[in-house]
Amino acid sequence: MKDALKHYWEGYLRIRLNGFSPERFLNLCMSRQIVIWDLRYQDNGYQFLISVKDYRRVRPLVRKAQVRLKILGRYGLPFFLYQNRKRKLYAAGLASFFLVLFFMSQFIWDISIDGNYQFTDDTLIHYLETQGIRYGQFRSEIDCDALEETIRSHYPEIIWVSARISGTRLMIKVKENEVMGEIPQKEDAPRDLVAEKSGTITRMVVRRGKAQVSVGESVEAGDVLVRGIVPIYNDAEELVREQLVRADADVYAVTSESYRERIPALTMKRTETGRKRQGFRLRLGGISFLWIFPTWGEEPWEMTSRSRQVTVLGDFYLPVWIDQIQAREYQIYEHFLTKKELELEKERIHQKKRENFVQKGVQILENSVRILAEDSGWIVQGEFLLEEQIGTGKAIVPEEIEQSKESEAEGEQTAE
């Protein structure tokens, strides 16, 4: 690559070699370190490329080897400039192009953020805008060290920030603290565990509190499962006092849950006609130009686009975006569900319900689904037999706390 640029800058020639001893001429060039390349045998002679500077040095060798050289082509920047010496507008346009590139290189046209998980790109870019850092800002106005400090101070969850400018791109890399910043406060307020829904107890593990139900017992929603008031007895089995605790237990029960969802008999279906259009949109900052084939017919079209920002040499971004647009024509019509489509819709609804239970960690013991016909469609009715935890906390009311305190006071008097 380096040699190719050097040859283009200095200019080079394509030469045809004929004569008495072309091999001797090539050996003489090698002995005098004259560089030739792209050597090939063609049309009963040799052809090769040589720089303009080395071509001036081969004249004595031509006479010594008794060969003839003919110039077939001239290439490189010197010849290009000479051929276009009268095209002033072309030269002005070329110079203007490089001037515009140089001018655009003084601004930031892309901001990339890497390593953020807790904070989205939009959140951080909005914060940068409040600090006066946005697209189209002069590169010289951005202090990367100060930017790193202000991001760390504003977001304590970010423990490391690196900001640097590469080309016309501001690159920010962050590292978030993976350890929880504050230790959660342990709740110790007294409470009972009550049933969230009706069911039959299958198993239970009580860690704190007094169980009010047993395995195999049926409970209703709102029934107390584990009491947060624990009675304390003496050796004579006399009640001494009642202690308030935060009830804690795992209570599993067999529960049932059902659902009903309606499926209309007549639905709107969409299908593509096969007609397509293509085009592209050029966006220059806030200005856009759209080129796309015109529409025909009265049917609606769906348009999708894929956007790409123009870059030059890696990180040299420009405020130019090219959107590749594709349009597809489609029709919407009324459609009566077939038996197969109805069965697929039923399975889709039921599968979605099953997945919701699995995500919650609920064990499905049995499940069933059926379709019921009605005047304007169908009803999908499903039932699940589940085993799940049904205990939820409920704060102990103040009256119960006062009664517990009075009971404790009576117990102390009895002890005295």
pLDDT digits (tens, 9 = 90+) for 169-203: 899 999 988 665 555 566 778 899 999 999 999 99
* Residue closest to 324 by CA, chosen among 262, 387, 281, 261: 281
Dist CA 325 CA 303 (whole Å)? 7
Point out the domain boundary residue: 295, 314, 335: 335
Point out the domain boundary residue: 156, 176, 196: 176
Q: Same domain, yes or no, for 260 and 309?
A: no
Helix (H, G, I), strand (E, B) or coil at 140: helix
pLDDT in tens, 7-61: 888 889 998 988 888 888 888 888 888 888 888 888 788 889 999 888 888 888 8
Q: Is there a domain that residue 415 lies in?
A: yes
Alpha helices in 136-247 (DSSP H): 144-154
Pairing outcome for strands 169-176 and 110-114: parallel
Q: Same domain, yes or no, for 282 and 213?
A: no
Q: Is there a domain that residue 323 lies in?
A: yes
Q: Same domain, yes or no, for 371 and 233?
A: yes
Q: Is there a domain that residue 103 lies in?
A: no
249 pLDDT higher than 90: yes
Q: What is the reported pLDDT for 406?
A: 57
Please give the structure tokens belonging to residue 265: 């008999």
Q: Is there a domain that residue 99 lies in?
A: no
Segments of 115-217 assigned E as strands: 158-166, 169-176, 191-195, 199-208, 210-211
Point out the domain boundary residue: 147, 176, 205: 176
Q: Same domain, yes or no, for 259 and 194?
A: yes
CB count within 10 Å of CB 25 equals: 22
Mean pLDDT in residue range 242-246 = 87
Domain count of the fold of the chain:
4
415 pLDDT higher than 50: no
- Distance from CA of residue 152 to its chain's centroid? 24
Dist CA 272 CA 237 (whole Å)? 82
Q: Is there a domain that residue 47 lies in?
A: yes
Q: Same domain, yes or no, for 261 and 355?
A: yes
Q: Would you give the end-to-end CA distance of the chain in angstroms?
A: 102
Helix (H, G, I), strand (E, B) or coil at 370: strand
Dist CA 343 CA 330 (whole Å)? 26
CA within 13 Å, CB half, 326: 7
Cβ atoms of 223 and 375 closer than 8 Å: no
- Domain residues for the domain of 69 are 2-82
Q: Same domain, yes or no, for 215 and 277?
A: no
What is the pLDDT of the chain when averaged over all its residues?
86
Alpha helices in 218-370 (DSSP H): 339-359
Q: Same domain, yes or no, for 226 and 347?
A: yes
Mean pLDDT in residue range 262-288 = 87
Dist CA 148 CA 136 (whole Å)? 20
Q: Is there a domain that residue 309 lies in?
A: yes
Cβ atoms of 189 and 245 closer than 8 Å: no
Q: What is the reported pLDDT for 401?
A: 58
370 pLDDT higher than 80: yes
Task: Order the strands of the 191-195 sheet from edge to edge.
Answer: 210-211, 224-227, 191-195, 391-395
Helices 144-154 and 121-130: angle between axes, nearest 10 degrees: 120
CATH number at residue 54: 3.30.70.260
Q: Same domain, yes or no, for 20 and 72?
A: yes
Q: Is there a domain that residue 104 lies in?
A: no
CB count within 10 Å of CB 58 equals: 19
Lowest mean pLDDT among 172-181, 185-194, 219-228, 241-250: 172-181
Give burial (CB, 10 Å; 0-12/13-18/19+) of 242.
buried
Q: What is the reported pLDDT for 116?
A: 87
SS3 content of the chain, % helix, strand, coil (to 5): 30, 45, 25
90 pLDDT higher than 90: no
Q: What is the reported pLDDT for 180?
A: 52
Q: Same domain, yes or no, for 32 and 64?
A: yes
Alpha-carbon distance values, 8 to 12, 51, 82 (Å): 7, 9, 14
Mean pLDDT in residue range 283-294 = 83
Q: Same domain, yes or no, for 276 and 409?
A: no
Q: In angstroms, what is the C-alpha Rg of the chain?
A: 42
* Residue closest to 178 by CA, chosen among 121, 118, 112: 118
Q: Same domain, yes or no, for 350 and 254?
A: yes
Q: Is there a domain that residue 136 lies in?
A: yes
pLDDT in tens, 97-118: 888 888 888 889 889 999 888 8
Q: What is the reported pLDDT for 179?
A: 62
CATH number at residue 145: 3.10.20.310
Q: Same domain, yes or no, for 227 and 364?
A: yes
Cβ atoms of 192 and 210 closer than 8 Å: no
Please give the structure tokens belonging to residue 247: 């009830």
